[in-house]
Amino acid sequence: MVFASLEFLTLFLPLFLIGYALARPTYRNGVLLFSSWIFYGWWSPAFLLLFIGLTLVGWVGGLAIAAYDKTSLRGWMLSLFICINLLLLCWYKYVNILVESFGNSWLVSGTPSSEWQRVVLPIGLSFIVLQSVSYLIDVYRRTVTADRNLISFGAYQSMFVHLIAGPIIRYDWVKRELHHRPFDWVNFSLGARRFMVGMCMKVLIADTLAPVADAVFLLEHPSFADAWAGCIAYGFQLFFDFAGYSAMAIGLGMMLGFRFPENFNNPYIATSIQDFWRRWHLSLSSWLRDYLYIPLGGNRRGNVRTYINLLLTMSIAGLWHGGDSWNFLLWGIAHGIALCVDRVWSRFGMPDLPVLLTRTATLIFVFLAWTVFRAHTFDAALNMYSGQFGLQGYLPSETLAVLLRPAHWLALTLGVVSILAPWIYAKIQYRLPERVLMTAGLWPVFGFLLAYSLIASRGAVPFLYFQF
């Protein structure tokens, strides 16, 4: 079940909201927890047991760490429960690629790798593990108190609102709202509007551009026009798919009385790669900074160690994104190198470049990196790069000419306008009549109805980050 599906919109969400509204405030965490288990179990009841087990591991781990005053014992408890989480993640996410790359003789003696039965990755596992690890570390650091109530902790860990693809919510951000939160018409209305905006981003833009990206990345010899059309389509698809999911999650949380932080801040207008990571997937980038980069030493141990920490952090970020291809690792390394270059440029007093130039260069790098991120194999990525650098001709292929429709151009235009909307609005808001502004504020309703009709006609399309 996904947010942009008839099952969710016409069955699960209405029934959940009715039950949530009728329940007494002290019982709403229980309603949220039970409903979240139904939501997750809709996909796979078997993996629901794994998911419940991870929730129990996180809860017990927090209590075990908090039970000791001696630092060494707390450290051992922290290591134990983090290892449980990471071992499960590594098994489900990386065992397939290790077997395919190196054979499985080191796993199952005498069994040829061709007979290996692929391990299915439970959806949302990467996000669940990062959330659990952040909670355990925060309890160890004493920045939060271990939650002794299994229901409230379970509601935090299992909340269907952000369960499958983030944002990665830290316990410290919602600890008060888990016990006391508003459930009123104002927050509900604002949240519903945000949810509709996210659904428009997902269905009207991301899903419309998806066929273009899929078709181009399957071409044997993409031309310059083909490769860049596919790369741009995927870049916009990925952003509006994931940012749309995040907006829907934030909206749902607001409807229930939770305040989640923003997960995106116009990343495609970043002026540097460092600025890009201050704007893209903020809950992940802040997690990497606070729980990986800074504990590794950050920039406190000299320049060489700083560059190593940047490369290591971004390499791990790449591996976290996917376990079915080494391309994700290459993507992370590329971003790590770019961050090192960015740091060297500023540290050695190199001249400031025009903003238009830095934005263009950053955007080109980000989209080139998306190519290896999207390609299923390294050879497929090289094939796309050959097209992007004009080594396979320049004119669009017949496939692209036949595929492109007015709807794709409209979706791309909507994407560009959406990215520039904050800047445009700041320029014109004081020049428009109040009636125009009020009428424009109703657009999510009409967009939602159009998106709903498209879902009803062509079916639900899974979110891209479900595979991560």
Residues with a known catalytic role: 321
Q: Is 181 helix (H, G, I), strand (E, B) or coil?
A: coil
Strand partners, 388: none
**What span, in angstroms and rounded, lies between the C-alpha atoms of 220 and 148?**
57
Q: Are 381 and 372 in contact (CB under 8 A)?
A: yes
**What span, in angstroms and rounded, lies between the C-alpha atoms of 190 and 188?**
6
At 317, list the tokens.
């970020």
* Cα dist from 273 to 86, 218, 279, whole Å: 29, 29, 10
**What span, in angstroms and rounded, lies between the C-alpha atoms of 312 and 130?**
17
The answer to whether the peptide bond before residue 167 is cis (omega within 30 degrees of 0) is yes
Burial class (CB in 10 A: 0-12, 13-18, 19+), 351: exposed
**What span, in angstroms and rounded, lies between the C-alpha atoms of 388 and 394?**
9
**What span, in angstroms and rounded, lies between the C-alpha atoms of 159 and 172?**
15
Q: What are phi and psi of 291, to 5 degrees?
A: -115, 0
At 145, list the tokens.
């108190």
At 374, list the tokens.
């999207």
Q: Are 46 and 120 in contact (CB under 8 A)?
A: no
Q: Are 221 and 387 in contact (CB under 8 A)?
A: yes
* Cα dist from 70 to 65, 81, 134, 145, 278, whole Å: 10, 17, 21, 16, 37
